[in-house]
Amino acid sequence: MSGFTPPSKLFFIFSETGVEKAGLSAGKLILLGVLAGAYIGFAAHLATVIATGNVEWVGFKKFLTGAVFSFGLMLVIIPGSELWTGNNLMTISLLEKRITFSSMMRNWFYVYLGNFAGSVLLAAIIGWGSGLLDSQMGATAIKIAFAKLTLAPENLDHNVAYFFRAVGCNWLVCLAVVMAAAAKDIAGKILAIFFPIMAFVASGFEHSIANMYFLSAAVFAKGFRNATELSGLDQASLDMINWSSMWTDNLITVTLGNFAGGTLFVAVIYWWLNVRKA
């Protein structure tokens, strides 16, 4: 028996999966979305722990951060939950006219809402309940968020830079979802997920659901004096990290970039290559 499903058959499976996802109730979509948001949040928290460590070799630190982040998608796919970025592959079902545009948007709305709720829930548990952010780790969370909200390469607009970083991210995330679906055992799925996710994080790309956790955690970390002092940011910079700016200065742009990367560069292209009727 072959150890994987070939592309000629694989994308027909995604066409069927999209139909199933479109038929789920709003309650199930939100709950499964909450789980996925929390799972990605666990990975983002662990990535924050690694980023706090004193690793001198920058490339190795980026590799470690990406390596630990990959377990988030493993939690999403293997136990089962709904992640908005992966659900961009439902576009295959839409192009096959097996689902309507409104049913796809319904799925995306509830799943995205659930992902956000799960991310904020975990950030609140870690921020308010555990006290883990009342430390250098909290300072790292604040600095990560500040960079995501304000920094851009020289001579390049912040939103333009983050849009294209998001394109690269979900291009790799959707490929990871596809390769995991192609694998026929748990070990194969883990291996298929690890490399693309490690690559997107180490490359500096942007994932909207992960950013929901990173930015929420920073808002909660601001409540700890130790974290704010260790961050080295002045009050004006700290004030830039808030519930409003996380959308206007990051999440909206990154979400659009993720949509373009997953939908155009994976779903549409592979539908045309493998599923489209002659």
- Domains in the chain, start-ordered, CATH in brackets? 7-275 (1.20.1080.10)
pLDDT of residue 130: 86
The pLDDT of residue 204 is 93
Q: Give the pLDDT band (50/70/90) at residue 278.
A: very low
Backbone angles phi, psi at 18, to 5 degrees: -60, -35
The region of weakest confidence among 29-38, 148-157, 171-180, 195-204 is 148-157
pLDDT digits (tens, 9 = 90+) for 9-48: 888 899 999 999 999 999 999 999 999 999 999 999 999 9
Q: What percent of the chain has pLDDT over 70?
A: 96
Band of the pLDDT at 54, cuts 50, 70, 90? low
Q: Which comes out higher in pLDDT, residue 82 or 12?
A: 82
pTM: 0.94
Task: Please tell me the distance from the alpha carbon of residue 175 to that of residue 193, in angstroms, as a whole number.
Answer: 9
Percent of the chain with pLDDT strictly greater than 90: 81
Q: What is the pLDDT of residues 225-245, one digit of tens each?
A: 999 999 999 999 999 999 999
The pLDDT value recorded for residue 192 is: 96
Q: How confident is the model at residue 110 (pLDDT cuts 50, 70, 90)?
A: very high
Q: What is the pLDDT of residues 191-226, one digit of tens each?
A: 999 999 999 999 999 999 999 999 999 999 999 999
pLDDT of res. 57: 62
Q: At residue 11, what is the residue type?
A: F
Beta bridge partners of 183: 4
Q: Determine the pLDDT at residue 45.
A: 96
The one-letter code for the residue type at 3 is: G
- 275 pLDDT band, cuts 50/70/90, is confident
pLDDT of residue 247: 97
